[in-house]
Structure 1
Amino acid sequence: MNKWWWFGAVTLFLSACSTHISDYEHVEPRLALDKFFVGELVAYGMVQDRSGKVTQRFRADIVATWDGNQGILDEVFYWDDGREETRVWEITKTGPNSYEGTAGDVVGTARGTTAGNALHWVYQLEVPWRDGTIAITLDDWMFLLDDDRLVNKTEMRKFGFRVGEITIFIERKE
């Protein structure tokens, strides 16, 4: 047997073990983006490389508004190296449990689905790389812990390979 057969078998096995959004259908509390992302929120997070080493930390201030099915998340990131970065998400609720979003550094459109306390959405993000940028795929999972707190776990991939992970804790400002 050649080595590509093993690669295919391992890929198939790993994809069979992945979680599906429907696994969270009956988990409470229920996540509705237009209810959680309203007002002022604060996020704390870290970026890890593929070995698990923390490479960056950040805080983000978020101001979120909704008008009908249209939401705006205005985010300002404060990185541990002193950088500041702004991202403005424009989110549209496209169905009872489906959302689409765009932002200046997002390639194309992010698409996601909620079920129970979870949101799963996938998109490509332009990130700084050497003297330019590269697009990486973000496989993003958000889990509502209670009415005021949410955890976000994101796997970053390039060419199908895992290159890192982002973990974010978001809560309402008091």
Structure 2
Amino acid sequence: MLYRYLFLAAISMVVGCSSNQVEDNQAFADVLNPREFFDGKVCADGVVRDRSGTQIRHFNAEIIASWDEQGIGLLDETFHFNDGIEYRKWWLTPITNAAGDVDGYQARATDVPDPTVMTFSGNAIYMDYQLQYQTGVDEQGEAETLALSMIDRMYQVAPGVVINETRMEKFGLGVGQVLLVMRKVSSDVNCVP
């Protein structure tokens, strides 16, 4: 009998975790539109934690965001970690419906080999993708990478302020988390202390 209850509890936890959709956030009044938030300069400050929740790195980042005449966005990111600098570029291509409204964005990045879909609703942006994280360089000078599944969730909590949590998984198991706060700022603000 105990095993039956444990099994049912485990199933309900799995179903509960998998049912979270971006549309669940549409009732929140602080609308988070990727084209509006990611336009100009955005500063980000955060930590990287391992699977036990222990901080292993921290960073300050600068994101320079722009959009071209076709509505394609470029996010040019520079991360200043406590142990080095990392760069990433995201390209966001609008996905439109029959009425011509943007329903989401096809997102690709320098270290995300397969494009993903960025969805948004209410105060939230969701994105799940495979990241090829560079861990070093081999003897031939080639990049050594680790494939990580990234479950990325962003929530606007005040005008111009977004909380971002990203779960990192390998083979379906949690291996870490990135927590950060992003703030829209004027072009003259220095994002790195």
Question: Taking structure 1 as the reference length, what is the TM-score of the superposition?
Answer: 0.89
Question: For 1:19-49, what per-residue CA distance to the aligned partner results, in whole angstroms no more than 9, with x for missing partners?
Answer: 2212101111111100000111110011111
Residue 16 (structure 1) aligns with? 15
Residue 135 (structure 2) aligns with? 129
- Output aligned runs, 1:45-64, within 5 Å: 45-64=46-65
Q: CA deviation at 1:138?
A: 0.3
What is the rounded CA distance, in whole Å, between the counterparts of 2:161 and 2:63 in structure 1? Answer: 13
Structure 2: any 5+ residue segments left out of the alignment?
Answer: 97-101, 138-143, 187-193
Residue 86 (structure 1) aligns with? 87
- Output aligned runs, 1:60-75, within 5 Å: 60-67=61-68, 68-75=70-77
Question: For 1:115-145, what per-residue CA distance to the aligned partner results, in whole angstroms no more than 9, with x for missing partners?
Answer: 1000111001111336521110000000012
Determine which of 143, 160, 184 is the counterpart of 1:172.
184
The amino acid across from 2:115 in the alignment is: T
Given the alignment of the two structures, is residue 104 of structure 1 paired with residue 110 of structure 2, yes or no?
A: yes
Structure 1: any 5+ residue segments left out of the alignment?
Answer: none
What is the rounded CA distance, in whole Å, between the counterparts of 1:8 and 1:65 in structure 2? Answer: 48
State the secondary structure of the residue aligned to 1:144. Answer: strand
Residue 159 (structure 1) aligns with? 171
What is the rounded CA distance, in whole Å, between the counterparts of 1:130 and 1:88 in structure 2? Answer: 19
What is the rounded CA distance, in whole Å, between the counterparts of 1:80 and 1:71 in structure 2? Answer: 29
Structure possessing the higher radius of gyration over alpha carbons: 2
What is the aligned-residue identity percentage? 32
What is the rounded CA distance, in whole Å, between the counterparts of 2:117 and 2:129 in structure 1? Answer: 7
